Chains A and B, each alone.
Chain A
Amino acid sequence: MDPRRGPLAVPKVRRVGFFTSIEPSPETPRPNRSLSGPAEAITSSSPLSDSPSGQFISPVQIPPSRHHSDNLASRAAPVPVPGPSAFRRQLANDRTLHVGSYNPVDSLLGTSPPSSNGEVSEDSGSLFGFQRSDSAKLSASFPNGGFDMTVAVRAPGESEAKVATASTSDGRKKNVEASGESESVATKPRKEKETRSLKEKTSKAERRAIQEAQRAAKAAAKGEGSKRAGESSRPKPSKPAKQPQPKKEAPQVTSSVSEKRAVSVEKERRMDVPQTQMQYDDKSRVDKAKRRSVVEQTESKNKVELFLHLPQYERGNQLPNLSSNIFTLDTIHHAVYKVGLQHLAGDIAGDNARCIAMLHAFQEAINDYTTPPMKDLTMDLTAKINGYVSFLIECRPLSMSMGNAIRFLKNQIRKLPVDLSEPEAKASLCSEIGRFIDEKILLADKVIVQHAVTKIRDGEVLLTYGFSCVVEMILLYAHEIGRKFRVVIVDSRPNLEGQKLLRRLVTRGLDCTYTHINAVSYIMGEVTRVFLGASSIFSNGTLYSKVGTACVAMVANAFSVPVIVCCEAYKFHERVLLDSICSNELGDPDAIANVPLRNNKKHSKTMDNNKNLQFLNLMYDSTPAEYISMIVTDYGMIPPTSIPVIVREYRREDLLL
């Protein structure tokens, strides 16, 4: 018991959400699959599965050899034999109204055809999400637990399956928008693997049988398919009805059919499900994305384990490449192309600037746009914009605010009246974009300045971190209206954005102190207010901003200095962020390795190609809401707990559906 459990305790927690194929070892995908087993058992609340041991070590208890036949028998047999947890699950399945002939242990061992796993997990995804990832922890380490039998059985099929998945995953799209991450991330790879491993496992005769059955079932499926199309919005209830019957007769054969069907249902459903961010540790999807990508990027060798899900490429080599074929690429509008290059080269920094540049480029692109014959402006333009967006993402991951702006634009396109002529539509879109820039960004900044200035009294010492254009405006305005105050600018390597702010403030005659973040705890003692910029603020009040912000906010909190965050309301995001790992951006690792004003030649030689050394240059971090005293937005000064109110009340009309 103990030796077995030992490895279970290995805290691979972080891997759960996005871990699929870090290393090409055959075991890795398994956790994902096996985990919904326990989850199923738990949630179906079968009395037998209540015992903890049944849940946790069940995969270990079942001898694989017995499994083959036994399990099939158990399906036919109405009375489950207490004992092996496979049976318990079977029981649990029976109770869950045949949501599918799901038997996790089967699929784990790759013996009997796993019928519609994907379906089950999708159905229950929202509910089971957490349990699943919990148990993933356990099963993730299971391969190491010394259960050799399963490994031996599965390994070959798995590895082949893995190669194959890359080609089969065409249905899956690269995603831009986010939410519901954990669910689909966890389910997709698992399902893929299952479909493949099933095919590898079946013998020739079996396969023929399958084919025949498929043909027979196809006719039946068609009838059902039309039915399903009718209720495609609610595909769930139709499934349990169709599956149990064929399963009873010839489980091996028909389940694969139903599984095919499941895949198609799955595809349909995926259209509805809000799309998640692309996880870059998902090999197949990355490969696919690469094939479509415009920018050629080499993956960086320097990979930090916890952040494998983030896009990480070598910097510097795409730029000449891109700028050389600027004339060959006709799919991307030149204005967008320019902005993309600027993002890539880092010429435009700052969220507002990037967002405005992008919107201006879109404006230009829309102006030059003509609807191709036989096409609808709404559809075609949206597709065009999607193309632009994915190009921009390849150049540099979008910031949250840009995501919001893009959503706004797409929504505007969708809301265009049908009877509008093309020039009118274009003009209206351009003016809407212009309005967005003016109202949501420029005017918002002015309002924020007006509000924030009321919080600056004479004789105060204000601390700011890095460079935020709103904070700069506030400081300059407060100086203009004659407030007497001092500014402490805290900066950090490698970007040293604070120097830009320092230069601008000093030339305007402000009294400044410049220091690095290392000294923040020292300097905080004399500070009376902390002003911070933001990249985004999430529904739970979490501030997502330049890396180091959290540190500054926490130190300020420890000194009970009020922390004021200045953020335009268009940057608010309705997602919830709990840590800075799930959503982040990786910068150039060399920027950390190289110290300016020092001869790095020899130094970097020893550092390069050192397997034990990885550089992590994170761009953002998240500050929990309790460290923020106040958020100044264009809707006034609000506590961080009120972000959802703003998102709910004021974004509905222009952003959401």
Chain B
Amino acid sequence: MWRRSASFILDRSSNSPPMADTTQTPFQNPDAISAYYQTRAAHHGVITSDWLAQAQAAVEQPDSSVSDLGAERSFNVIDEFNGWRKQPDLAEAVAAIRAMAAVIRASEATTMMELEIELKKASDTLKSWDKTSISLTAGCDLFIRYVTRTSALEYEDFNSAKSRLLERAEKFGEISCKARKIIAMLSQDFIFDGCTVLVHGLSRVVLEVLKTAAQNNKLFRVLCTEGRPDGTGVLLSNELSKLDIPVKLLLDSAVAYSMDEVDMVFVGADGVVESGGIINMMGTYQIALVAHSMNKPVYVAAESYKFARLYPLDQKDMAPALRPIEFGVKIPAKVEVERSARDYTPPQYLTLLFTDLGVLSPSVVSDELIQLYL
């Protein structure tokens, strides 16, 4: 079975209660720029630990309210999705997975085929809502594959089949939610005492990894790239300093300069593609190149719902995700600005992928995808 999650790693340790929280500012999706990165930016604004602590204090039950809501009125995936998405600690794909589960729950279909079509439609809507988000697309696809690829479809009784689907959907959501914890538990073993970790971008998984490592009394140092234009590194260093982890901020261009004191590079991923390479925030590729040339390991922390059936051959092979870039000074009209938000890192520059399926070498990604999709 594909979904052999490495969640056993969690059973060995008592994990903290899952973080849930309330809604925050409403959200719009401007056409020109990538909604995915907008969401990220919005989340970055709030994903500070004290804010989370507050939110946790006022925790409520979003599950029941949302599903009730969905069952009553005419159901809209996007609304549902947005409802889930507003939770800063919930990844977009997980929100999508939750929303899709709600689709099944709210469905009034009477045949399996109808339900499948409904699901397909919902996933298409979600996917078209933001085409630049790889994890959203991948999450929807994986959800459909995982949920519908079961013998449940052969049940004679539709209701039992449906409940079976729902069960699977919930399980998938569960696994996806736990993914970050699993990854953190798996990868903190790779952080050894006295090591220096270079981090690029503000990845919630990487933050979780570092946090878990710090909680396990590992002594290590973190170098944060600045992460222009969002200033992700500043945010991350802020978070890390709160955890008493020694942290140092670098300019994005100082990576090669400081690479020789680095023991490992840790990055997250927006998407993991079939070749085993990753698509991640702009700058990952060049960091990986530098690390590769200096023989430093590059570790990627990514949940398995980010595995996408894409195979970019080079940087321009993907639809670019654009975002606004502030230079602080006025740019003459004739000057062009590269606004792409992400790049593709080929697998030969990656050492290992930490996923909730386990610690994988890049070539395994394709194996997992083939097993799931074909």
Contacts and interface: CB of A to CB of B under 8 A. Distances in A.
Given A455-B317, A562-B313, A635 B374 contact: yes
Which secondary structure characterizes the binding site on chain B?
helix
B366 interface: yes
B313 A642 contact: no
Contacts of B371: 645, 649
A19 B188 CA distance: 53
B366 A645 contact: yes
Interface of B: 274-276, 309, 311, 313-314, 316-317, 347-348, 363, 366-367, 370-371, 373-374
A636 interface: yes
B275 A630 contact: yes
A638 B274 contact: yes
Nearest to B277: A639
Contact of A455 (B309, B313, B347, B363): B313
A172 to B, nearest CB: 39
Q: Number of contact residues on A: which range applies?
A: 10 to 19
A630 B363 contact: no
Which secondary structure characterizes the binding site on chain A?
mixed
B313 A641 contact: no
A637 B313 CA distance: 11
A637 B317 CA distance: 14
B313 A629 contact: yes
Nearest to A638: B366
A630 B370 CA distance: 14
Interface of A: 455, 457, 529, 562, 564, 626, 629-630, 635-639, 641-642, 645-646, 649-650
B374 A564 contact: no
A357 to B, nearest CB: 29
Contacts of A639: 274-276, 347, 363, 366
Contacts, number: 47
A630 B313 contact: yes
A450 to B, nearest CB: 14
18 contacts: A564-B313, A630-B311, A635-B374, A636-B274, A636-B309, A636-B374, A637-B274, A638-B366, A638-B370, A639-B274, A639-B275, A639-B363, A639-B366, A641-B366, A642-B366, A642-B367, A649-B371, A649-B374
B88 to A, nearest CB: 35
A642 B363 contact: yes
A645 B313 contact: no
A219 B311 CA distance: 68
Contacts of A455: 313, 317
A626 B313 CA distance: 14
A10 B78 CA distance: 73
A157 B366 CA distance: 58
Given A639-B366, A641-B363, A645-B371, 12 more contacts: A562-B313, A629-B313, A630-B313, A637-B274, A639-B274, A639-B276, A639-B347, A641-B276, A642-B366, A645-B370, A649-B370, A650-B374
Contacts of B314: 562
Taking each of A457, A629, A639, which has the highest tally of chain B beta carbons within 10 Å of its own beta carbon?
Answer: A639
B367 A637 contact: no
B140 to A, nearest CB: 18
Contacts of B316: 457
B86 to A, nearest CB: 35
Nearest to B363: A641
B144 to A, nearest CB: 17
B367 A645 contact: yes
A201 to B, nearest CB: 55
Contacts of A629: 275, 313
A117 B173 CA distance: 62
Nearest to B313: A562
Nearest to A629: B313
A448 B30 CA distance: 37
A29 B168 CA distance: 65
Nearest to A626: B348
